[in-house]
Structure 1
Amino acid sequence: MKQAFIKLHIAVLLAGFTGILGRLISLEAVALVWYRVLIASACFWVLFAWRRKLQKISNADIVKLLGIGTVTALHWISFYASIKFANVSVGLVCLSCTGFFTALLEPLITRKKHRLTEVLLGVLSIIGIYIIFHFDSSFRLGITFGLISAFLAALFPIFMRQTIQRINIETGLTWQMTGCILGTTLLLPLFLQIAPTTQFVPSTADWFWLLVLAILCTVVAMQFSMVALKRFSAFTVTLSYNLEPVYGVLLAFFMFNEMEDLGPSFFVGFAIIMSSLVIHTLLLRRQTVKNKQVAADITS
């Protein structure tokens, strides 16, 4: 449990850099994601085939994982669109609503009862986003894409958690990332028609940052997050990712001086969103202590 928790937060730390890298890479959102998943999927196939970690799975599981991969790609595209239309800070903070969407969707998909505390904590995040959205009208398009990204980000961990209970993490990630590149490639003509781009070939600097994004922030981070997802609920994992905006926003302030573009409403909303994470962490710790006490009483 402790090792999974540590890996989860390393994954969150790496995820905090994705927004920064999205700003540093000059490509538009769709092209950026296409290169990211192309490199990452190639790495997964080579790495796990070499380590003999890939299992033979059913066609039904392959189709499901390809679908999950397509949803993952759409999540990344909308996330980087949020950054391009607003800025890194806004795009990252919108991802904090993933916890709210997960609290609503996970019980529906897994056919379990909704947990009132999770829904309330999710609503707290939504209130924070509303405060930012209501007062900072210049960010509305970016926030819209950010909320779409958060909704999609809530979906694929739920389905992945169900899948990796039956197959190993390496196989699940490899086919998921294959779905990312297939889905992005098939939808690429549509995206380019909607939002034409004058640059599709990365520059030398773009290639460097794309390798960092694909290898560290995708291959390594996704392996660690899947280890955690196998031990914790999808809600716990996604709410832990609320720390991602903390790391990303601080980096954006330092690297891009974004503080000058953000009004007081951003910081009020940001504080409300972060309070949901603190409350959830305290509740988890309390529940862990309670479970240990129950286990001790049973064995005594």
Structure 2
Amino acid sequence: MQNDKLKSYISLHLIVFIWGFTAILGALITITADAIVWYRMLLAAAFLFVFIIFKKKSFRVPLNSFLKLIFVGFLIAMHWITFFHAIHVSNVSITLSVFSLGAFFASILEPLFYGRKVLWYEVFFGVIIIAGLAMIMKVEVNYLSGMLYALVSIILGVLFTLMNGKLIQNHDATVISFYEFLAGVFFISIYFLFENKFTADFFVLSYNNWMLMIILASICTAYAFTASVKVMKKLSPYTVMLTTNLEPVYGIILAYFIIGGKEKMSFSFYIGAVIILITVILNAIIKHKVGKKVQPISEVNSDLM
């Protein structure tokens, strides 16, 4: 059991590193945020379709679960649209730093979803992370609009993470992700049809954009998203959300070396990032020591969603 949890932690950190690179790709791809998400979800769904066929998995899910997957797909689409838009109106570092609030929201919402008590240290760590974020925000006020879009994005991210934590108990992670991505494409397509965005130019991407989009859809989406759903069989959504706070650290470092000058931030910004990193490490240590006091998702009541 402990070995399974350790493997899940290691897998989760690899996923979070990949997500940090996702933000870099979003900054480098030169099309609008909603178009990025449409292509991303469509291509990722195609990759997963081939994988499911190859593995001879069943596409069947009960109607009740299917409707939930459609709703989660909508949340995911809106989460990614606001995420990439935040990057475009600010930068990678600012957007990812706001994502540190995810742990705080998860510490409040997860007990409501799973019927367990609020754990004092989860709220405490969430407050520390807010303090780290406050250090960032007080010196980077020029990026307020990007911070607000990122805030909306992370709230949506917490919600779909909690819902997927329930769905993974009864369904295959690959199938869950496939239907959610298709639902996201459907909702964005409806919007594009009303806005007449499906023009000939919409389907013309540069070679560079195509290459970046394929990487984004395959490694950073089809693989990373499905794997993140799978690890929730062993780890709680709160732990997933708190570990995701390493995404700013990974992403900021990558952005600095790949994108350069635009990503160079103030000294207070980096102090805030270090606070987030230390908080994630402390959470992992406490989770390991308390052991069974914090139930994995597979052991909590699954009738609440």
Do both share a fold (TM > 0.5)? yes
Are positions 1:91 and 2:101 aligned together? no
Distance 2:124 2:237 in 1: 16
String of CA shifts for 1:39-85, please: whole Å, max 9, x gaps: 00111122202321124211111110011011011111111111111
Q: Which runs of 5+ in 1 are unaligned?
A: 292-300
Which residue is 2:146 aligned to? Answer: 142
TM-score, normalised by the number of residues in structure 1: 0.89
Which residue is 1:207 aligned to? Answer: 210
Which residue is 2:245 aligned to? Answer: 242
Distance 1:192 1:121 in 2: 46
- What SS class does the counterpart of residue 57 from structure 1 fall into? coil
The farther-off stretch of 154-163 and 45-54 is: 45-54
- Shift of residue 3, structure 1, vs aligned partner: 2.7
Q: Given residue 42 of structure 1, which amino acid in structure 2 is its aligned partner? A: A
Which residue is 2:234 aligned to? Answer: 231
- What SS class does the counterpart of residue 27 from structure 1 fall into? coil
List aligned pairs for 1:173-188, cutoff 5 A. 173-188=177-192
Distance 1:136 1:189 in 2: 37
Cα 1:200–1:105, aligned 2, differ >3 Å: closer, same or farther?
A: farther
- Shift of residue 215, structure 1, vs aligned partner: 0.2
On the 8 A contact 1:103/1:119 being kept in 2, the answer is yes
Which residue is 2:83 aligned to? Answer: 79
- Shift of residue 189, structure 1, vs aligned partner: 5.4
Q: 2:287 aligns with which of 266, 277, 284?
A: 284
String of CA shifts for 1:11-60, please: whole Å, max 9, x gaps: 11211110110111001111111110010011112220232112421111
Which residue is 1:295 aligned to? Answer: none
The farther-off stretch of 278-287 and 207-216 is: 278-287
List aligned pairs for 1:116-155, cutoff 5 A. 116-155=120-159
Which residue is 2:223 aligned to? Answer: 220
Distance 1:109 1:18 in 2: 28
On the 8 A contact 2:103/2:242 being kept in 1, the answer is yes
Which residue is 1:115 aligned to? Answer: 119
- Shift of residue 290, structure 1, vs aligned partner: 9.3
- What SS class does the counterpart of residue 93 from structure 1 fall into? helix
Q: Given residue 83 of structure 2, which amino acid in structure 1 is its aligned partner? A: F
On the 8 A contact 1:89/1:258 being kept in 2, the answer is no
Q: Given residue 78 of structure 1, which amino acid in structure 2 is its aligned partner? A: T
- Shift of residue 225, structure 1, vs aligned partner: 1.2
Distance 1:222 1:179 in 2: 15
Distance 2:135 2:196 in 1: 33
Which residue is 2:32 aligned to? Answer: 28
Distance 2:242 2:251 in 1: 16
Cα 1:109–1:262, aligned 2, differ >3 Å: closer, same or farther?
A: same
Q: Given residue 55 of structure 2, which amino acid in structure 1 is its aligned partner? A: R
On the 8 A contact 1:7/1:227 being kept in 2, the answer is no
On the 8 A contact 2:75/2:156 being kept in 1, the answer is yes
On the 8 A contact 1:157/1:229 being kept in 2, the answer is no
Which residue is 2:259 aligned to? Answer: 256
Distance 2:262 2:278 in 1: 20
Distance 1:19 1:113 in 2: 34
Distance 2:293 2:173 in 1: 30
Distance 2:203 2:291 in 1: 49
Q: Given residue 94 of structure 2, which amino acid in structure 1 is its aligned partner? A: V
On the 8 A contact 1:70/1:183 being kept in 2, the answer is yes
Cα 1:100–1:190, aligned 2, differ >3 Å: closer, same or farther?
A: farther
Q: Given residue 160 of structure 2, which amino acid in structure 1 is its aligned partner? A: F
TM-score, normalised by the number of residues in structure 2: 0.87
Distance 1:192 1:104 in 2: 40
Q: Given residue 210 of structure 1, which amino acid in structure 2 is its aligned partner? A: M
Q: 1:157 aligns with which of 149, 158, 161?
A: 161
- Shift of residue 107, structure 1, vs aligned partner: 1.1
- Shift of residue 6, structure 1, vs aligned partner: 2.4
On the 8 A contact 1:55/1:168 being kept in 2, the answer is no
Which residue is 2:69 aligned to? Answer: 65
The farther-off stretch of 266-275 and 146-155 is: 266-275
